[in-house]
Amino acid sequence: MSASAWSGGQLKMPRFKIGDTVLVEGRTAKVVWFSENANEIEAMDEYIVEFDDKHRQFVISSTLTHKSQAVHNREHNSDPCYG
């Protein structure tokens, strides 16, 4: 059940899933809910993230980035400090 399987060529934005650790405005948070909105003029996913202090915030995909530790799914890791 891949979200990108039906989204055609719109793979520009990163996709996150429940449980992913992300950065929101420099703060670490965990994804607790998401909704895919592929039918919008500009497709964007919506998320609710939870911070360490249990505060939750509604965000859209363009405001999220993967936390630097969460690169285990990538095929290549170009961290110059590792080695």
- State the sign of the Cα–Cα–Cα–Cα dihedral 56, 61, 66, 70: positive
User: What is the spatial distance between Cα 29 and Cα 9, in angstroms, rounded to a whole number?
Assistant: 28
Tell me the pTM: 0.61
pLDDT given for residue 57 in this prediction: 96
pLDDT in tens, 2-51: 444 444 444 455 688 899 999 999 999 999 999 887 676 766 789 999 99
Structural domains in the chain? 15-66 (2.30.30.30)
User: What is the spatial distance between Cα 49 and Cα 14, in angstroms, rounded to a whole number?
Assistant: 15
User: What is the spatial distance between Cα 58 and Cα 51, in angstroms, rounded to a whole number?
Assistant: 11
* Beta-carbon contacts of residue 57 (< 8 Å; ≥ 6 apart): 24, 29, 48, 49, 51
